[in-house]
Structure 1
Amino acid sequence: MFCQKCGSKNLDDANFCQTCGTAIKDLSQSMDNQKTKYAGFWLRLGAYILDSIILFPVGFVLGFVFGLLEPEDGTIGVILQFLIFVVTWLYFALMESSSIQGTLGKKIVGIQVTDTDGNKISFLRATGRHFSKILSSLILLIGYIMAGFTSKKQALHDMIAGCYVVRK
């Protein structure tokens, strides 16, 4: 493969020119060349329902324990909500940036989160993807529904974070 900028010969699977560093091929297309099967809306919804079932006991136990400690002013309720917020964020971000590349629900249904090259995503990208789900929710869940209609089955938060959800 030859670089269009400097003309140097490069390996066929190179993404960047070894001489000048210019991108040789459009990296966003590299997943297409592998006949990737993207995970659609229903698989993703199934994974989310399973994750909710997995996380429910954690929230229940925290709620029960903090409910016993609740004073009159309601401060424990605020702390409880914050803890549930943090646990949920860490669950999704740590699992999706791990070698599993997905939550337990995603693993059960056979899907995983990748970057646009099919690689594992970083914790920072997984965090951005998680918090982008707020935007997907705020617009009447249309950000989620987009996964059923886009060519690469991306929801709005996937587009923002530069991620794909693919079948294993």
Structure 2
Amino acid sequence: MEISNPAGFWNRLGARIIDSILMSVVTGLITLILSGEFLGDDYDPTDGIGLLYGILLPLFWYGYTIGKRLTGVRIVKKNGENVGIWNMLLRELVSAFVYVFTLGIGLIVSAFMVGLREDKRAIHDFIGGTYVTYDPPEKSEHA
């Protein structure tokens, strides 16, 4: 299947910012309850909540996170089907290692790829076999 209605840079960035703010507030409140500090400088076990959010929510909500839903985009497999656990693990975990290993250069390259490529796919999209689209889920997917 051909990639349909891919989402561009600004829309994807907006979704990521919304999700980051949401996860900061949630983890901050949990940390405040547990330790008395809103956000500490040290590693906190609640840091993994954002990672779980980014991997699991799209599995159960047709490729949406809250930020993506608010900006009208969702993650799908390259063939247009809903993402699976393998796609999301590759997309989020493996690509994070690539971005760290390249000292952030891979992330900059990804931003240019989304902005300049016709299919709007970044490095993490290629690793996960996914893309981000404006297309809503099929009606049969809601049943």
**Structure 2 length as normaliser, TM-score?**
0.78
2:32 alignment partner, one of 54, 57, 64:
64
Indicate the SS of the match to 2:60.
Answer: coil
**Mind listing any 5+ residue stretches in structure 2 that lack a counterpart?**
136-143
Structure with higher RCO (Cα < 8 A, 6+ apart): 2
Match of residue 16 from structure 2? 48
Quick one: structure 1 residues 57 and 93, their matched pair in 2 at CA, closer, same or farther if it must change by over 3 Å? Answer: same
Match of residue 81 from structure 2? 119
Q: How many residues are aligned here?
A: 127
Quick one: structure 1 residues 156 and 60, their matched pair in 2 at CA, closer, same or farther if it must change by over 3 Å? Answer: same
**Mind listing any 5+ residue stretches in structure 1 that lack a counterpart?**
1-29, 70-76
1:63 Cα offset (Å): 2.8
Q: Is the 8 A contact 2:91 2:128 kept in 1?
A: yes
Quick one: structure 1 residues 112 and 130, their matched pair in 2 at CA, closer, same or farther if it must change by over 3 Å? Answer: same
1:29-44 aligned at under 5 Å gives the runs 30-32=1-3, 36-44=4-12
Percent same amino acid among aligned pairs? 29
Indicate the SS of the match to 2:75.
Answer: strand
Whichever residue aligns with residue 114 of structure 1, its letter is V
Provide the rounded CA distance (Å) in 1 between the counterparts of 2:61 and 2:68.
Answer: 13
- Highest CA radius of gyration, 1 or 2? 1
RMSD of aligned residue pairs (Cα, Å) = 2.2
Q: Is the 8 A contact 1:114 1:163 kept in 2?
A: yes
**Structure 1 length as normaliser, TM-score?**
0.67
1:1-168 aligned at under 5 Å gives the runs 30-32=1-3, 36-68=4-36, 77-78=42-43, 80=44, 82-84=45-47, 86-131=48-93, 132-136=95-99, 138-139=104-105, 141-145=107-111, 146-168=113-135
Per-residue CA deviations over 1:82-133 (Å, capped at 9, x if unaligned) read: 331x211110111122233121100011001010110001122112111214
The structure that is helix-richer by fraction is: 2
